[in-house]
Structure 1
Amino acid sequence: MSVGHVARVFEAAGLPTITIAVAAFAGRLEPMQVPRLLLTPFLMGRPLGQPNDDETQRDVLRTGLRLLETAVATPTVAHY
């Protein structure tokens, strides 16, 4: 999963990142120590929720942005 490597490269360049993924991938992502990780309870391939569920998708994105603002240490793992 190259997402962890990409996140670290962006962070090293001064660009803060948040990785949003389904909880099924926690076992793979947590050891990678991505800087900020938001795990969601949704199905694989739908980390933001069901198609056309705009309210939930916006809420997941807002949660990710709050994590980006409030995380005091990296790596940080949060659950939606």
Structure 2
Amino acid sequence: MSVGHVARLMEAAGIPTVVVAVAAFEQPLKKMALARILLTPFLMGRPVGPVGDAETQKQVLRTALGLLESAKQPTTAIFRQP
């Protein structure tokens, strides 16, 4: 959860953030009232996807960057694999 605390400090300093996390952490992260959260269906410790799966990892990062650009209010999004 320290990532959430760092994200809040960065947001307070005017630096926009997106926290990418596995869906298992949804409730604790929502309680932290973070600006932007992207939840993924992957295993703990691998929030951007399986080891060696560069295409999925790129898709997660593109989705996170899109969320950073488009979210006008606090948002929680769920990554869905194509």
Equivalenced residue count is 79
Q: CA deviation at 1:47?
A: 0.3
| Runs of 5+ consecutive residues of structure 1 not aligned to the other structure | none
What SS is found at the alignment partner of 2:45?
Answer: coil
One-letter amino acid of the structure 1 residue matched with residue 31 of structure 2: P
> Could you say what the CA RMSD is over the residues aligned between the two structures, in angstroms?
0.7
One-letter amino acid of the structure 2 residue matched with residue 19 of structure 1: V
- C-alpha separation between the residues in 2 aligned to 1:30 and 1:8? 12
TM-score by length of 1: 0.94
Q: CA deviation at 1:13?
A: 0.9
Q: CA deviation at 1:2?
A: 1.7
What SS is found at the alignment partner of 1:30?
Answer: helix
Q: CA deviation at 1:33?
A: 1.2
Q: CA deviation at 1:24?
A: 0.6
TM-score by length of 2: 0.92
- C-alpha separation between the residues in 2 aligned to 1:16 and 1:72? 11
The 4+ residue runs of structure 1 with deviation greater than 4 A are none
Does structure 1 residue 77 correspond to structure 2 residue 71? no
- Equivalent in the alignment of 1:30: 30
What SS is found at the alignment partner of 1:45?
Answer: coil
| Runs of 5+ consecutive residues of structure 2 not aligned to the other structure | none
What SS is found at the alignment partner of 1:39?
Answer: strand
Q: CA deviation at 1:38?
A: 0.1
